[in-house]
Amino acid sequence: MTSRTQYSERLPPPSPEASPEDGTPATRGMNALLRHRAGAAAGAAFGLLAMAIALPFLPERWQAFADIELTPPRAGHDARIDDGAGLPDAAMENQGLMALSRPVLLRALASAPQLASSHGDPALALRDQLAVRRLPRTMVWRITAAAPTPAIAASRANAVANAWVAEHRQLKVDAAARLSASLEARLPALEQQLQASERAAALWRRQHGLVAGGDASGASLAEQQLADMNASLAQARAAAINARTRLERFSVATPGEDGENISPAVQGLRRQMTDLARRDADLATRYGPQYPERAAMRAQIGAVAREITAERARTIKTLRAEADITAARETALRRSLDATQTEAAPQGGASDAAIRLRELERRAAADRAAYEAALSRVRKFQDLAQIAEPEARIMSPAVADASERLASPLVLMLAGAGAGAIAAFAVALLREQMLDPCLCPDQVATDLGVARVAEAPMLGVDQRKARGHVMQPATVVALRPQSQFAESFRAIRMMLESTTARLALTANETLPEPGRGRIVLVTSGQPGDGKTTTAIGLALSLAEAGHRVVLVDADLRNAGLTRFFELRAHPGLADMLRAGAPFASASVRRANVAVVPAGAMAGGVRSPLSLVDVSAGPLLRRMALTFDHVVVDAPPMDVTEDASVLLRTADTAVLAVRWGRTPRCLARRMGARLAAQGKLGAVMLTRVNLARAPRYGAPAVHGRAARRRYFHG
């Protein structure tokens, strides 16, 4: 059975750009949460701490509730004052939003001056502390007021509720007073017209000696025709009066009163205005007056208001035309009646007198009915103005003891922890998506075009302790050969041997000449990817297998291998290249491995590339004549061109890729450069977090128990 650090077989995914995670979106989301649980926990702790620090400085906020019931108008009252069918949804919304209107707020401040703010507009300041919403499936509106104390919150809610009810009553009184005044202005004219018609009828009776009702006996066809025409004239006169009344009522009515029932278009626009006002009130609870959405909403409200004004003007024009038509019809009927009476005159004076009397009496009766109807409506509106009942009542006043705290300390602490965890999780995901690091071994193998990838696990402090000291990761290979970390370098060794066997079968020209050892270049795409540890571990693994190995530090600019073996002052590669120092003086033995450090003269090399380009190739080939393997720790390929020069001499190369850090695009680019020369022999995925790695690819096959059976230390 192979270990967890062994390699996975190459599987052809849909494309190299495929996501490194498998499974359903829910599975990927759970894996992401598990991957970043430590960061989320740290973010939650930070948010909790920040909220705990800020909590003493946050002012307390309490909210109180007052419920207002909008009662449907009673049947039998006039028009919009009480239209008898209950409030439609649009009217209900309009009535509810009245609670946040400026007149209501000013009335509330007038009744409770202590609620006024000392900064800015008091009405706007009070509005910012209020919220109004309709309870579902009811005609009840809830006023929510916020304040630093429960008593102030209850006072605000009750003041606004009382002002709302008072404003409802005042609007009803004002509407009744306006209609009453309009009808009172018409009463004198109606009274004069009634008196004139009654005097004319009485005078005609006296002049012709007729009794009330006229002489109806022996009525002729002409008389019957005159009677019908008189009835039509009375109807036309009533229609004319009705048309004039509707015109006057609509002309003097303010928006939202009974006049709007005449025009369905105005009603529709009013419902649209109500909806826009509701949305504007909702935005006002979250944004200031200069917010773009609020400015756009006010522009729409203005446009609808202009449409309402234009529609009212068109309706008035239509009603005026209707009044003119009915008046013209009345005039035409009167002329026709006069003509008929003229034609019927030769039939006899007594009959003509009776007909005329009936006409005068009917006219007087029509005038009397119009006068009495107007007088009755005036009295009703006067009574309504005195005893008007508002269409709203306080169903449940706000009580200070029933006030609720907006956010308890526990809720705020939990909110801070949640916000911190979410922010940390989001930052981790964003960083992961932007960096797109190498996480899944299968993905790395596919990106680089290799069959398998070796995985070197990340070692904790406990895993690197020996004899009271903390070892470097490379030392673990020598001191703990049965560890999983050491096994990963045996995997690299096996990959290189399989590559050699494959090249031998194909008679590849990159094979070393007979009698010469193999030059293995170890490089990476960027510093910190673990190439030096990989080179040391590979050299120790080859020496463990009985090979003669020399380890060369060719990274003259940043000699990490030299620092690891503490050979900074020892002669090395730079001394051999510049001064021709012998190999014996420039190398040391470490754990059955000959080590050639960068050299004491490495710091004085002005152009390492020129030095390596001219002399490194022959020197490495001479070393290969003595050793089975020459392991070269080269600089990162994406940083300098030294590795490209050394690659010309190397027989094969090992690319170190750091798990969770090296971007996939960089790994693909470095792999392509090595593969273009046919020298990509193996890939090492370094510092793999075994606890998190399975969540980036297929589920882990081997658990901790299975690994312990095969690896120790």
pLDDT at 487: 87
Beta bridge partner(s), residue 396: 67
Q: What is the mean pLDDT of residues 637-657?
A: 91
Q: Is the per-residue pLDDT at 705 higher than 60?
A: no
Is residue 672 domain-shared with residue 659, that is, in the same domain? yes
Whether residue 14 is predicted with pLDDT greater than 80 in this model: the reply is: no
pTM (predicted TM-score): 0.46
Is 16 a domain residue?
A: no
Query: What percent of the chain has a predicted confidence (pLDDT) above 90?
Result: 12
Same domain assignment for residues 114 and 140 = yes
Q: Are residues 33 and 71 in the same domain?
A: no
Rounded mean pLDDT of 565-582? 87
Mean pLDDT lowest among 191-200, 211-220, 277-286: 211-220
- Cα–Cα distances (Å) from 453 to 5, 9, 440, 638, 684, in that order, read 9, 9, 10, 21, 6
Do 175 and 268 lie in a common domain? yes
Q: Are 427 and 456 in a shared domain?
A: no
Highest mean pLDDT among 243-247, 372-376, 582-586: 582-586
Q: Is residue 378 domain-resident?
A: yes
- With respect to residue 10, please indicate whether it lies within any of the assigned structural domains: no
pLDDT confidence tier of residue 521, bands split at 50, 70 and 90: very high
Mean per-residue pLDDT, 94-116: 78
Q: Tell me the sheet residues that pair with 68.
A: 141, 394
Using the predicted structure, report yes or no on whether residue 43 has a pLDDT greater than 60.
yes
Question: CA of 222: how far to CAs of 234, 340, 344, 398, in Å?
Answer: 18, 8, 6, 77
Tally of domains in the chain: 3
Whole-number pLDDT of residue 613: 81
pLDDT at residue 3 tops 70? no
- Asked if residue 40 is part of any domain, the answer here is yes
Question: Is 209 among the domain residues?
Answer: yes
Same domain, residue pair 278 and 227: yes
The first and second tokens of residue 325, run together, are 């038509």
Residue 352 has pLDDT above 90, yes or no: no
Phi, psi of 519 (to 5 degrees): -100, 115
| Overall average pLDDT of the 442-451 stretch | 86
Arithmetic mean of pLDDT, 654-676:
90
Residue 13 inside a domain? The answer is: no
Are 79 and 43 found together in one domain? no
CATH number at residue 616: 3.40.50.300
Same domain (yes/no): 313, 453? no
- Check if the beta carbon of residue 90 is closer than 8 Å to that of residue 275: yes
d(CA 14, CA 20): 12
699: which 2 tokens?
């589920």
DSSP state of 639: T
d(CA 39, CA 421): 8
Does the pLDDT value for residue 523 go beyond 50? yes
Higher pLDDT, 308 or 651: 651
pLDDT at 641 over 50: yes
User: Residue 596's pLDDT is what?
Assistant: 94
Q: Is residue 20 part of a domain?
A: no
A 10 A CB-CB count for 343 gives 12
The closest of 432, 438, 338, 477 to 657, measured between CA atoms, is 438
Confidence class for position 15, pLDDT limits 50, 70, 90:
very low
Within this chain, do residues 301 and 210 fall inside the same structural domain, yes or no? yes
Do 187 and 45 share a structural domain? no
Alpha carbon 287 to its chain's center = 15
The chain-wide mean pLDDT, for the chain, equals 76
**pLDDT per residue over 124-174, tens digit each?**
877 777 888 888 888 888 888 888 788 888 888 888 888 888 887 777 777
Owning domain of residue 73: 63-402
585 and 603 within one domain: yes
Would the pLDDT of 703 be above 60?
Answer: no
165 or 630: whose pLDDT is higher? Answer: 630
Evaluate if residue 696 carries a pLDDT over 80. no
How does pLDDT run across 585-610, given as a tens digit for each residue? 888 998 889 999 988 777 666 677 77
Distance CA 610, CA 620 (A): 16
Q: Residue type for 104, please?
A: V
C-alpha 492/C-alpha 437 separation (Å) is 22
Q: What is the β-pairing status of strands 62-70 and 392-396?
A: antiparallel
Instruction: Say yes or no: 510 and 586 in one domain.
Output: yes
Let me know if residue 7 belongs to a domain: no
- Show contacts of 279-286: CB within 8 Å, 24+ apart: 281/97, 281/100, 281/132, 284/100, 284/127, 285/131
